Amino acid sequence: MEVPKSKKELAILLSRVRGYTSPKAELEQYVTPSEIASRLIWAAYERGRIVGKNVCDLGAGTGILIIGAMLLGARRGYAVEKDPDAIEDLKRNLSAFGLERRVEIVEADVSDVELRVDTVVMNPPYGVQRKGASLPFLIKATEIGECVYMIVPRGLLEEKRAILEDRGFGIEFVEEDWMELPPTYPWHDSRMYRFRVCLVGFAK
């Protein structure tokens, strides 16, 4: 597959990533919209964080972030996910992009991962269902990576920044966007669920 030449081209490719077959609310399983995924991965790419690098996606879900990184030239990918149903969706998407041999699936809780990579990408649970759900993701990212590109609701950026700064990571990129999610769950009554997010890159 040819390397996408723009953020737009990458977003179009990523729009082919299929969603969860059986989404689980307690794990906050939402697929990052392709435009936001593309914008985040492109920002990492522009800062030399993707090409030839080993990249790990913590809480990979259906794989949109790691697929984006691989399409832009990451060397090797690791997709960490603990839900076996999501892993089936992930496998199908990796195969559809011909990436099944370049991305290793790690079926585990993020806390149990032992890897060293250059770059971590993630859209961790925001802690809506279970407060503190994102903390293991932040801690693991700083343990295994040189940098982490992630998505956070805008109102939580300062809290996350403080945690990462304590661990020696500072912001190298930040941009705002709207996250729009379709109503995946019965209690999402509105047509689209819309909130402000920050796309942010932290590095050592």
Residues in contact with ligand SAH by CB under 6 A are 27-32, 57, 59-62, 64-65, 80-83, 86, 109-110, 123, 125, 136
Find, among 167, 196, 169, 168, the residue nearest to 180 by Cα.
196
- Distance CA(199)–CA(176), nearest Å, equals 6
Give min distance, CB of 166 to ligand SAH, in A.
21
Give min distance, CB of 11 to ligand SAH, in A.
14
Give min distance, CB of 60 to ligand SAH, in A.
5
Cβ proximity to ligand SAH: between 76 and 82 the closer is: 82
Find, among 156, 141, 167, the residue nearest to 65 by Cα.
141
Cβ proximity to ligand SAH: between 86 and 203 the closer is: 86
Task: Give the burial string for 4-15 (b: 16+ CB within 10 Å, else e).
Answer: beebeebbebbe
Cβ proximity to ligand SAH: between 16 and 170 the closer is: 16
Cβ proximity to ligand SAH: between 65 and 70 the closer is: 65
Within 10 angstroms of residue 177's Cβ, the number of other Cβ atoms is 16
Cβ proximity to ligand SAH: between 2 and 87 the closer is: 87
Give min distance, CB of 123 to ligand SAH, in A.
4
Burial class of residue 138 in the structure, from the number of CB atoms within 10 Å of its CB (0-12 exposed, 13-18 middle, 19+ buried) = buried
Q: Which residues contact 74 (CB under 8 A, 6 or more apart)?
A: 50, 51, 52, 53, 54, 55, 119
Instruction: Reduce the DSSP state of residue 185 to 3 states and report it.
Output: coil
Cβ proximity to ligand SAH: between 170 and 192 the closer is: 192
Give min distance, CB of 44 to ligand SAH, in A.
14
Check if the beta carbon of residue 146 is closer than 8 Å to that of residue 203: yes
Give min distance, CB of 68 to ligand SAH, in A.
9
